[in-house]
Structure 1
Amino acid sequence: MASVEKPLAGKRIVLTRAPEQAREWARALEQMGAEVILLPTVAFAPPEDWRLLDEQLRRLDVFDAILFLSKNAVRYVLERLNQLGIKFEMLQSPNRIIAAVGPGTAGALTAQGVRVDHVAEGRTGEALAGELRQSLKGRKVLLPRSDKGDDRVLHALREAGAEVTEVIAYRTTTPASLDPAIVGRIRRADVDAIVFASPSAYHNLSDALGPAEAAALSSRVHFVAIGPTTARAMRQAGARVEIEASEASAGAAGLAASIAKFYGSAHVPAGKRALPEHPEDRQRT
């Protein structure tokens, strides 16, 4: 039974992140009493060919700004710089803007001694482009990102007048297999909530279940989306999003608090809503 100390006691929460990325989330949820179930639905891998990224990393001096949209972009760029023997200091110059989406991405840079000049308040690539619109006009921008990155940020940067060089820093892939026992529990709605941190995380589970079954499941299990981009992709696929945690609050403690607040706001049986519906969800009711 839930208590003030353990507000998520008895709740079975599935995390779809890779284990190394889900560790802090799992710890925070478990401290609130939740049973955490790990089902990684995304995996990450280097580019199939390093040459395009290497070419840009060897000519960093031509760029006026470098934008990092995720911690994975930071990880793969810094790892590759190290492999090429290029010092991290080369990312920085007095007149170059280093910008990041969200505090997690910024923290991944500063942890390696890389200065961050701007952290997007809006927590999306589009927001970052909008916030830097005046600064990037007519400037050369390097955008290292996933092979499945959202093109909206690219369009927003170009509309702002930036000269953008987009390069694949890593690939977002599907794990070789998903644990059939956990997938079975999800099919039976034998869990209370599933947390998705990216559109790919949802789409890969949807592919495993079948798109119609995945969308229908959201009426029996509470779906949690991290950030507006993930929430939008899930709704476009027909799913209900019960909890939308902002990327700003999606640190481990913030995510756990958002879920605890949802369950504490009222008695919430599966498929019922304690929070106002998003207009896109209401249209499908």
Structure 2
Amino acid sequence: MSEPATEQPLKGYTVGITAERKAGDLEALLTRRGASVLRGAAMHTVPLPEDGELSAATAAVLAAPVDFVVVTTGTGFRGWLEAADSSGAGARLLEHLRPARLLARGAKARGAIRGAGLAVEWSAPSEESTEVLHHLLQHDLEGKRVVVQVHGNPMLEFQQALREAGAEVVPVTVYRWTDPLDLDALDRLIGAIVAGEIDALPFTSAPAAANLLDRAERIGKGASLREAMRSRVLLACVGPVTAAPIAEVGLPYSMPERARTAALVRLLAEELPARGR
């Protein structure tokens, strides 16, 4: 049985999806509210074990005692531990991290730490990296080793602030981003945005937002894409980190109070009908 119209506030609207990993969940939430969906993943996630880089980072962590560990994402932290397990270093890594003070960026990171049998000293209430950095800088970091689990975004300013405070920073990058596997799908989405066929674009990651803009430049549609996004499309970002590439080019965007995919979809369901066409 179809849902009543009042429960399908997005009926008649078309939403573009640039996500890769969360595309299925996002599409299900949107279609349940009546939206039509056009997918065009804007990036592809490559686990670094495939490149051999993560094992080198793990070896650097194991080379000396660790004072602080910053866990930014649950997926990234679990991926790191799984990669260490596959190389035979999993148990040693867990024991090496156990005496450290583990800080979580949010609920999913906190859950991953606890799921590994480790203790969480502190978790950022806002689930933002800036709050984690502020908390860390309240400590005397001179000579301390700080492991930062990075997920795609290299967090260069975060790392530099810690180094300026005297810390030795050991970044652990679990994934890197590349162009999507299906560039044609992304190009079709860009074309649909420019043609006025897309009403909203929800973004769940900064790399997807950045690569959408970059790909449009590479195919000669950068200016027309930005104009369409500025004048006709509701841009919604799950959080300020995701919004950074959008903000950098001066595009307006909305953001839910909580950095959750479901909250992002609720925001679209509220704002799109209110905007009209």
**TM more than 0.5:** yes
Specify which of 228, 239, 243 is matched with residue 251 of structure 2: 239
For residue 271 of structure 2, what is the amino acid of its counterpart? F
Alignment partner of 1:214 is 2:221: no
Query: 1:253 corresponds to which residue?
Result: 262
TM-score w.r.t. structure 1 length?
A: 0.80
Partner of 1:56: 60
Q: CA deviation at 1:136?
A: 5.8
Could you say what secondary structure the match of 1:4 adopts?
A: helix
Distance 1:111 1:28 in 2: 27
Question: What do the CA deviations read for 1:20-64 (whole angstroms, capped 9, x no partner)?
Answer: 3233333222222222332211111133333422313534x6111
Q: Report the equivalent of 1:282.
A: none
Contact 1:109 1:116 (C-alpha < 8 Å) held by counterparts: yes
Task: State how far apart, in whole Å, the 2-side matches of 1:41 and 1:166 are.
Answer: 25
CA distance in 1, matches of 2:275, 2:252: 19
Does 2:172 match 1:170?
no
Corresponding residue of 1:198: 205
Flag the 1:117–1:38 CA change in 2: closer, same or farther, 3 A.
farther
Q: CA deviation at 1:240?
A: 2.5
Alignment partner, residue 109 of structure 2: 105
SS in 2 for 1:74: helix
Secondary structure of the residue that 1:123 maps to in structure 2? coil
In structure 2, what is the equivalent of residue 4 of structure 1?
6
Equivalent pair of 2:17/2:39 in contact (CA under 8 Å): yes
Give the aligned CA root-mean-square deviation in angstroms: 2.7
CA distance in structure 2 between the aligned counterparts of 1:121 and 1:74, rounded to whole angstroms: 19
For the residues of structure 1 that align with 2:95 and 2:130, how far apart are their CA atoms? 26
Contact 2:190/2:225 (8 A) holds in 1: no
Alpha-carbon deviation of 1:77? 0.8
Separation of aligned partners in 2, 1:30 and 1:91:
46
Describe the superposition over 1:177-211 as per-residue Cα deviations: whole angstroms up to 9, x where unpaired: 32143333222121111122233212211122223
Map of 2:276 onto structure 1: 268
Of the structure 1 ranges 103-112 and 184-193, higher mean CA displacement relative to structure 2 is found in: 103-112
Secondary structure, counterpart of 2:169 in structure 1 = strand
Secondary structure (helix, strand or coil) at the match of 1:62 reads coil
> What's the offset of the Cα at 1:81?
1.6
What code does the residue aligned with 1:8 have?
L
Give TM-score scaled by structure 2 length: 0.82
Identical columns (%): 25
Cα distance in 2 between the residues matched to 1:110 and 1:36: 36
Out of 71-80 and 186-195, give the one that drifted further.
71-80
* Matched pairs, number: 262
Q: Aligned to 1:245, what secondary structure does the other structure show?
A: coil
* Partner Cα distance (1:108, 1:21) in 2: 18
- 1:232-257 C-alpha deviation (Å, 9 max, x unpaired): 3212123232x1235xx232321222
Q: Helix, strand or coil for the counterpart of 2:223?
A: helix
Match of 1:278 in 2: none
Match of 1:223 in 2: 235
C-alpha separation between the residues in 2 aligned to 1:4 and 1:174?
A: 39
Instruction: Output the amino acid matched with 1:45.
Output: V
- Give the drift of 1:82: 1.4
Counterpart of 2:270, as a letter, is K
Supply the AA of the counterpart residue of 2:268: I
Indicate whether 1:81 and 2:80 are aligned: no
> What one-letter code is carried by the residue in structure 1 that aligns with 2:67?
D
The amino acid that maps onto 1:81 is A
Tell me how far 1:117 sits from its aligned partner: 2.8
CA contact (8 A) 1:143 1:167 kept: yes
Residue aligned with 2:198, SS? coil
Cα distance change on mapping 1:12 and 1:149 into 2, 3 Å: same
